[in-house]
Structure 1
Amino acid sequence: MLSTSGRVFTNAVFGPVARWLVRAGVSPDAVTVTGTVLTVGVALWLLPLGHFVAGPLAITVVVLIDSVDGLMARTLGRSTRWGAFLDSTLDRVSDAAIFSGILLWGVRAGETWVLVTSLVCLVLGSVVPYAKARAEGLGMTASGGIAERADRLFVALAAVLAVGLGAPVPVLVVALGLLALASLYTTGQRMAAVHRQTRADAGETA
């Protein structure tokens, strides 16, 4: 749901920006790389220092702007496999930077549970998309689940912002813990989906 809402929002707000960039001769790949560099820079600069209002707000803006590359590709009518690969790969870099920023703050602040839960989210946040990519590489599907990328980022950034606005740190710990469980469950969902497909294929072959 969050992913769909995000796409509707970005289409309405950033559609004109995408068309302007296309007319200016900017490539979608350049926007993808720029968005990733900005996300990594902001996440690893503001979050470890505890700027929990400016940090999540700035990251949200950059992540939304980063979606312009897809709008540009559709405007040009040339969504390429390279563009999809680049976007997906750099998304993992951006996600890792965000959770690493939270983790580093946990280290600086001596908040052990923030460190632990953000580390688990960092690891599982890579496993969820890997399960999908590996399944597709084997000719199967493993999409969906309760913790897709937009959902993970929304929960993490909302919890960070809440702490920045005065909520106690355990709010962030609980949010990251629930996010870790949701990511683990999503991984299980995708593994189960692939298992069902392999069993069906085996039955057809037999």
Structure 2
Amino acid sequence: MLNGLRGLMAKIFNPVAALLLRIGVSPDAVTITGTIAVVITALWAFPTGHIAAGSLLIGLFVFTDSLDGTMARLSGRAGKWGAFLDSTLDRLADAAIFVGLAAYFLRHGESEWATLGAIVSMMCLVFGLLVSYSRARAEGLGMDGNVGIAERPERLLISLLAACIAGFAHNDAILVYALGFLAAASIITFIQRIMHVRKQAVAAVNESN
């Protein structure tokens, strides 16, 4: 759903990307710096109870996720290495966000929501990684795995927006319900991708017979 915004974001970031390239900044440097910023923010702000500020900062870094791709395109460096690095570091950033949220619930969460909040945070982490892995594995086998209701942009939007609202409202229930919904959506997406790949594999076998 939100992937359609990537083209718009690329146009917005064109002047910034061109400027960074002129001063000698590489696309890889932007990718790595952005990931480090997300990881540090998630593993410091969330466990210390600053979920509203942390989610806003992380949202800013995630919002500029297209910048490195725009730089690679403008410089003619777009290729498999950049795609691999970006995708791999995205998984690291996602893990840091949900680990940070789990730590928040265990350290600062309201007592009635602490355990459940930590559980749904880790479910979002596990099934989010499985959603990404299932697509990567399918593509590695020459099939399409890009289906489902909860891709990475949606998962990030829901989790960060809910964390921001919950932080300002001082209401952990908002975040717990949002993460519970996100965990369920990730499970559904994982199953959708399995079934989609199975359909392609069966069709390939039938065609070869």
Name the structure 1 match of 2:54.
55
Counterparts in 2 of 1:78 and 1:151: CA distance versus 1, 3 Å: same
Cα shift at 1:67: 2.4
Asked if structure 2 preserves the Cα contact closer than 8 Å seen for 1:29 and 1:83, the reply is yes
Name the SS for the 1:4 alignment partner.
Answer: helix
Residues 1:168 and 2:171 are matched in the alignment: yes
Name the SS for the 2:64 alignment partner.
Answer: helix
Residues 1:14 and 2:13 are matched in the alignment: yes
Asked if structure 2 preserves the Cα contact closer than 8 Å seen for 1:31 and 1:66, the reply is no
Distance 2:6 2:40 in 1: 23
1:93-112 equivalences in 2 (<5 Å)? 93-109=92-108, 110=111, 111-112=114-115
| Residue identity opposite 1:43 in structure 2 | A
Asked if structure 2 preserves the Cα contact closer than 8 Å seen for 1:36 and 1:66, the reply is no
Counterparts in 2 of 1:23 and 1:54: CA distance versus 1, 3 Å: same
Asked if structure 1 preserves the Cα contact closer than 8 Å seen for 2:6 and 2:66, the reply is no
1:32-111 equivalences in 2 (<5 Å)? 32-109=31-108, 110=111, 111=114
Distance 1:101 1:6 in 2: 27
Give per-residue Cα distances to partners, 1:17-53, cap 9 Å, x unaligned: 1110111121101110011000101111111111122
Name the structure 2 match of 1:178.
181
Asked if structure 1 preserves the Cα contact closer than 8 Å seen for 2:10 and 2:66, the reply is no
Equivalent pairs counted in the alignment come to: 205
Aligned alpha-carbon RMSD (Å): 1.2
Counterparts in 2 of 1:7 and 1:114: CA distance versus 1, 3 Å: farther
Higher mean C-alpha deviation, range 164-173 or range 128-137: 164-173
| Residue identity opposite 1:37 in structure 2 | I
Q: Which runs of 5+ in 1 are unaligned?
A: none
Cα shift at 1:16: 1.2
- Give the share of equivalent positions with the same residue, in percent: 49
Distance 1:155 1:138 in 2: 31
| Residue identity opposite 1:200 in structure 2 | A
Q: Which runs of 5+ in 2 are unaligned?
A: none
| Residue identity opposite 1:146 in structure 2 | I
| Residue identity opposite 1:61 in structure 2 | L
Residues 1:127 and 2:130 are matched in the alignment: yes
Cα shift at 1:204: 0.7
Cα shift at 1:6: 4.9
Name the SS for the 1:36 alignment partner.
Answer: helix
Name the SS for the 1:165 alignment partner.
Answer: helix
Cα shift at 1:12: 4.2
Residues 1:29 and 2:28 are matched in the alignment: yes
Residue 189 of structure 1: which of 175, 192, 206 is its match? 192
Residues 1:202 and 2:181 are matched in the alignment: no
Asked if structure 2 preserves the Cα contact closer than 8 Å seen for 1:135 and 1:141, the reply is yes
Asked if structure 2 preserves the Cα contact closer than 8 Å seen for 1:2 and 1:151, the reply is yes
Cα shift at 1:62: 1.1
Give per-residue Cα distances to partners, 1:37-91, cap 9 Å, x unaligned: 0010111111111112211110011112232100101111231101000000000
Cα shift at 1:128: 0.3
Structure 1's consecutive aligned runs of 4 or more residues displaced over 4 angstroms after TM superposition are none
Distance 2:50 2:31 in 1: 25
